[in-house]
Each structure stands twice: as structure tokens, then as C-alpha cells.
């Protein structure tokens, strides 16, 4: 039987620079040079993996010799190549603008901030999705926070959030315009909506991301989030489906800057759905925007208490210090689990993510699950009796001492001087109780 010879044919003129072949080659025979793939034929083993992944059909394996020549030739187009071609149909970074009767959730502007970087890395447009009724003002704001384009469906049926019409509207837009990435807030609405859309579109969704980046070789979205109880950070990739969907908690990303008067291209669509087709009815709407409820994610000053308080009564002292600073009371999970304070005060992985100007941690050890929720604070002051407590590793200023001596002293100082300035390091802190102060 004649010996068969396999030859790799490479047409560099067709190369689009996607670099999929580079990652697939098992012997590192392909490299990117000046934006195009270059093959080292001395190293190549003619396995044909590049043929399978190349969306531009640059590669071909030719089998010569023997009667079975034709039968042995591998098909040039296979599932992997088809997949790559299918993924290449998707383009653009989209951000869902979450609003309730015209009040936009600030996480939307934070996502436009993060989305801008992703879109620039991918070399594509950043777009906003605005769904609701009387959305002119929200649409203008989307442009001012950086959306190049805004897809708008403005209908009475979308006046209040309901899963079915909102999911239908998003799915319709995504199927028509094929974005590569869709971002939503990890809020009650965003979590509900993102899950419904991803399920319907059979695509991947990563919840509660703390970091988003682009793999320049594959264009995949690198979605980082805490895993295994926050002990490791996992980076998740949606390799085979589009769009790639992710939710991000409020205050994890910095907001996009607002540029007054910045215009956005408006693409108006409609929705083929009537009220009688929606089984869920909104019977009343309560506007919470100005309520006294705990709003930790958007508090500028937070004073948090931990197990070091020794009992629920300790939170009275925390509340007193919070009041002296004009701040909000936060808590560690240990105190919430012990029933000393309600869950809406909890900061951390299973509580709120916060990003205040000043975070005061009192009797909190600094477990990773607490740190992930507050380490984005501008300034952190830690009060702990243990000089080796982990919280001091992230603290801007540390006070080693008994919180029951330190906090009353801080409250006393607040009655005489601007305590906020002192804790932000803008004025000297001199304690009279003899507690040791540690400046970073």
C-alpha cells in the first residue's frame, strides 16, 4: 500500500488576525507577526487543528498517495470552524439601563464605565438598552454616560418592571442586533432579567462579577468572581455561545464620568405584545428613592460593627459614632448571623458591596468575605484590639485598642472637632485615652 503524505497549505492572504489557530496548535508552530499568523513548517506536525478553528479557511490539509486518498482527506469545514464563524457574527458591548419609573439605578452608569473599556479593547461600539415608558430623559442620560448607541423600546406595557415583557424585549433586540457582550446590574431586577434571557438564548451568564476583561486572542470576556466561599477568584469564560452575559453588583465598578450634552445614536424598536398576554399585573408602585431604608451601597460614610462588639447592645455605640459622622451603620456577617442586627446592614460577599469615602470597621477581623465587600472604600479606619488582625492589611489607618474605649473617645472628639476630617487623615488624630495609633 502506497504511503500517504499529509501537507499543510496555508493562505496568509486570507488571515483576519483572529489568532484562534495560535491557541489551538499543540506544538506552537504558529505565531502572530504584525497581526497575521505565521507558520513554522519545520515544527508543524500537520495535525489539522488549525484547519478546524480557522474561521477564514486559511488552512487546508492535503493527503496524497494511496487508493484511499480521497476518503482519507479530512473535511476542511467542521463543527469548530462553524462555531468560530457563528461567534464572529456577534459584535458590540451592551449595558442594560435599569430604571424604575424614570429613576435610573446608578449601577447602570457603573456598567457603562466598565463597558467603555471592554468596547475599546474589542474595537466595537458601546450601547445601552433602555426599556420603559416616557424614556426620553433616561435615553439622553445614557448618552451622557458614554453609550454610543441606545436601543429604546418606549411603551406603556414596559412602564413597570415585569420579567416577561422585559425579557421578551431584550431577547428580541439581542436576536436582531447580535451583541457580543451584555452586562446587567446584580440587583433584584438585573438578576431576575439576566437569568430569564440567558436561559431563553441558551447562553452563558456569570453572576456577581468583580472583574471584567477581554482576552485579546479569542475576544472572550474574562469574567472574574469569588468562588468556593470567596477563598479563590475564578475567571469564567463563555467559549461557545453569544452573547456573553454577566451581572455586576452595585459599587464594584467605578461610574462612567457624565459628559453633559454628549449625544447617543437612538435606535427605536417596538414590541409585539399586548397587555392581555402578560399574566403579571402591577397593582401599586412605591417609590423608594427617598426612603429611610438602609442604603449601604450608596452611603458615603459607613461605620460597621463586628463580633468584637460582644453583643447586640454594641450597635448602639456604632450608631452613635455613625450619627456623629453623618454615616450609615454596617455590620459583619457574624453579627447578622447572631441576630444582633438585620441583614440589610451586612457588608461583604453575601451582603452589600460598598464603596464609601470613609469605612470605619470596629471589632471586625477582616475575613476575605468581608473584605471583598468594602476594600474599594476610599479610606478605611480599623479599630481592633488584636494588632495582627487582617483588617489592618487593608486599613488606611489602624487603631489598636478596645473599641469600648476608642469609640467613646472618637464621639467626644466629634463634639469638638470635625471627626470626619480627622479619620480621613486631613487633620491629626490625638487620642487622650492612651490608645496606640498606627498610620500606614
Residues at the contact surface with ligand FAD, assessed by CB under 6 A? 229-230, 306-308, 332-335, 346-351, 363-365, 367, 369-370, 373, 383-386, 389, 402-404
User: Closest approach of Cβ 160 to ligand FAD, in Å?
Assistant: 31
Cα(219)–Cα(213) distance, integer angstroms = 10
Task: Report the side by side order of strands in the sheet with 126-132.
Answer: 205-209, 244-248, 181-185, 93-97, 126-132, 149-154, 265-268
Closest CA to 370 of 333, 395, 318, 327: 333
Quote the least distance from Cβ 387 to ligand FAD, whole Å: 9
What phi-psi label fits residue 388: left (phi over 0), alpha (psi between -120 and 50 degrees) or beta?
Answer: alpha
The single residue listed with the C-alpha cell 487546508 is 60
State which residue, 4 or 343, has the beta carbon closest to ligand FAD: 343
User: For ligand FAD, which is the closer residue by CB, 182 or 334?
Assistant: 334
Give least dist CB 369 to ligand FAD, A: 3
C-alpha cell recorded at residue 123: 474595537
CB of 294 to ligand FAD, least distance (A): 15
The DSSP code sequence of 364-396 is ----HHHHHHHTT-SEEEEEES-TT-THHHH-S
Q: Which is nearer to ligand FAD, 21 or 209 (CB)?
A: 209
Compute the least distance from the CB of residue 4 to ligand FAD, in Å: 57
Nearer to ligand FAD, 200 or 320 (CB): 320
Compute the distance between CA of residue 190 and CA of residue 163 in angstroms, rounded to an integer. Answer: 10
Of 242 and 370, which has the nearer Cβ to ligand FAD?
Answer: 370
Question: Across the beta sheet with 211-214, what order do the strands follow?
Answer: 211-214, 221-227, 232-236
Which lies closer to ligand FAD via its Cβ, residue 91 or residue 385?
A: 385
- Nearer to ligand FAD by C-beta: 179 or 230? 230
User: 220 phi and psi, to 5 degrees?
Assistant: -70, 145
Burial 386-416 (b: 16+ CB within 10 A, else e): eeebbbbebbbbbbbbebeebbebbbebbee
In this complex, which beta carbon is closest to ligand FAD, that of residue 92 or of residue 230?
230
In whole angstroms, how close is the CB of 390 to ligand FAD at the nearest point? 8
Taking the C-alpha atoms of residue 213 and residue 324, their distance in angstroms, rounded to an integer, is 40
Name which of 297, 299, 305, 298 is nearest 330 in CA terms: 305
For residue 427, the minimal CB distance to ligand FAD (Å) is 23
Would you say 320 or 402 has its CB closer to ligand FAD? 402
| CB of 364 vs ligand FAD, minimal distance in Å | 4
Cα dihedral 410→411→413→415 (10° resolution): 170
Phi-psi region of 292 (alpha: psi -120 to 50; beta: other; left: phi over 0): alpha
Residue 183: CB minimum distance to ligand FAD, A: 23
**Closest by CA position to 193, among listed 108, 124, 127:** 108
In this structure, what C-alpha cell is assigned to residue 318?
456604632
List all residues 6 or more positions away from 147 whose beta carbon is below 8 Å from its beta carbon: 95, 112, 126, 127, 128, 264
* Least distance in angstroms from the C-beta of 331 to ligand FAD: 7
Residue 287, classified by CB atoms within 10 Å of its CB into exposed (0-12), middle (13-18) or buried (19+), is exposed
C-beta closer to ligand FAD: residue 69 or 402: 402
Amino acid at each position: 500500500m502506497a504511503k500517504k503524505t499529509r501537507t499543510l497549505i496555508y493562505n496568509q492572504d486570507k488571515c483576519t488576525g483572529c489568532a484562534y489557530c495560535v491557541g489551538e496548535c499543540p506544538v506552537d508552530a504558529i505565531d502572530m507577526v504584525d497581526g497575521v499568523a505565521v507558520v513554522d513548517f519545520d515544527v508543524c506536525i500537520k495535525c489539522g487543528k488549525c484547519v478546524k478553528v480557522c474561521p477564514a479557511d486559511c488552512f487546508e490539509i492535503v493527503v496524497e498517495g494511496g487508493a484511499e486518498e480521497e476518503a482519507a482527506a479530512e473535511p476542511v469545514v467542521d463543527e469548530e470552524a462553524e462555531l468560530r464563524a457563528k461567534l464572529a457574527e456577534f459584535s458590540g458591548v451592551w449595558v442594560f439601563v435599569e430604571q424604575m419609573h424614570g429613576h435610573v439605578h446608578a449601577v447602570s452608569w457603573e456598567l457603562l464605565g466598565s463597558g467603555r473599556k471592554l468596547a475599546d479593547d474589542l474595537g466595537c461600539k458601546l450601547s445601552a438598552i433602555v426599556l420603559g415608558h416616557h424614556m426620553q430623559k433616561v435615553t439622553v442620560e445614557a448618552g451622557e454616560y458614554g453609550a454610543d448607541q441606545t436601543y429604546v423600546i418606549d411603551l406603556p406595557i414596559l412602564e413597570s418592571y415585569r420579567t416577561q415583557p422585559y425579557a421578551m424585549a431584550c431577547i428580541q433586540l439581542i436576536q436582531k442586533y447580535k451583541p457580543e457582550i451584555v452586562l446587567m446590574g446584580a440587583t433584584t431586577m438585573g438578576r431576575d432579567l439576566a437569568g430569564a434571557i440567558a436561559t431563553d438564548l441558551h447562553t452563558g451568564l456569570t453572576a456577581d462579577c468583580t472583574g471584567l476583561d477581554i482576552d485579546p486572542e479569542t475576544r472572550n470576556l474574562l469574567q472574574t468572581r469569588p468562588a468556593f466561599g470567596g477563598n479563590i477568584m475564578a475567571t469564567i469564560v463563555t467559549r461557545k455561545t453569544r452573547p456573553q452575559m454577566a451581572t455586576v453588583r452595585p459599587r464594584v465598578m467605578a461610574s462612567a464620568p457624565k459628559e453633559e450634552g454628549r449625544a447617543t445614536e437612538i435606535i427605536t424598536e417596538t414590541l409585539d405584545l399586548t397587555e392581555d398576554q402578560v399574566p403579571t399585573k402591577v397593582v401599586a408602585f412605591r417609590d423608594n428613592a427617598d426612603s429611610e431604608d438602609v442604603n449601604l451601597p450608596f452611603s458615603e460614610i459607613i461605620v460597621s460593627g463586628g463580633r468584637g462588639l460582644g453583643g447586640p447592645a454594641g450597635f448602639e455605640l456604632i450608631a452613635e459614632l455613625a450619627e456623629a459622622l453623618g454615616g450609615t451603620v454596617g455590620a459583619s456577617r457574624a453579627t447578622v448571623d447572631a441576630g444582633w442586627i438585620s441583614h440589610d446592614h451586612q457588608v461583604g460577599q453575601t451582603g452589600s458591596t460598598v464603596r464609601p469615602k470613609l469605612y470605619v470597621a470596629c471589632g471586625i477581623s477582616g475575613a476575605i468575605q468581608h473584605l471583598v465587600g468594602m476594600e474599594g472604600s476610599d479610606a478605611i479606619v480599623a479599630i481592633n484590639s488584636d494588632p495582627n488582625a487582617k483588617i489592618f492589611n487593608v486599613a488606611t489607618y489602624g487603631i489598636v485598642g478596645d473599641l469600648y474605649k476608642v469609640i467613646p473617645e472618637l464621639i467626644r472628639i466629634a463634639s469638638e472637632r470635625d471627626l470626619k476630617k480627622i479619620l480621613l487623615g486631613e487633620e491629626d488624630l490625638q487620642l487622650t485615652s492612651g490608645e496606640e495609633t498606627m498610620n500606614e
